[in-house]
Structure 1
Amino acid sequence: MPIVAIVIYTLVPKQRGVVGTDANVEFAAASDLAPTGELADTFSFFSNATQLQRDEKEREIIGKIVQWRLPVYNVSERDGFYVIQTKSRPGLVAAFCYVRAVEAIKSYVLSLRENDLVTCKGTIAGSSMRTIQLRPAVLQ
């Protein structure tokens, strides 16, 4: 009697959003990808890159861990995260840093004002409205 093997493949779409854990990000080495140069030329609000070019660059950078020092634009709280939105300037890309909302950093996050500089280390999870999403992220 012949043996028949049935293999079922399930295609799972690429998940966007949380990639890895806070601990993985905190102790992992950051890539040398900078929020300036080619990245800013592609994603900043002042860029003339097309959506197709941004989509291509996004595929290249998703999953990379970066550590960037950026100026604060706004801070909000959403779904258990502090979301630190940074400013886009000519030559500098903006980011949404999703930092887990824990009591240990609450006073620091509450003290942040527009234009304060924060160092955010996180995993690139995608982009939205020409802004890079770092999720999860930690503050350095």
Structure 2
Amino acid sequence: MRAVATTGLASLLLLAGCPTAAADPNPVAVPEVAPDPARTLFVDNPAIVDPHRTDIESFSRDGEGLRVNFTAGTPDCFGVHLVTRETPETVTVELRGGTPPEAVGRMCIALAVSGAAEVPLQAPLGSRQVLAVQ
């Protein structure tokens, strides 16, 4: 027999087998903006340490592809990883931020950077809607 001590509504939902908002995020539509060449371009890095969801503020078309726009730390101390799901109607992007492996333990300044990252696509963006997991 296993005893479980829990408190709060989320615990009751988990015990009942119901998903919580954190377990099942709902993607939201992302506004399109004109490309901004002043944004710092981040390169997708699946090796980032301590990844966490980072908000996507907007997207811009990049030829047949797209870039997502966000606010981050400096690229020396902050990295991103993109998880993308495509359907014929939508492109859903989850942006994860974290520390590049080479920056672990490094002293970093607290400076906000307007960033962008290219989203690799299987097919041209076309008229598909861009959604973000926030």
Q: TM-score, normalised by structure 2?
A: 0.30
Higher helix fraction: Structure 1 or Structure 2? 1
Higher strand fraction: Structure 1 or Structure 2? 2
Q: TM-score, normalised by structure 1?
A: 0.29
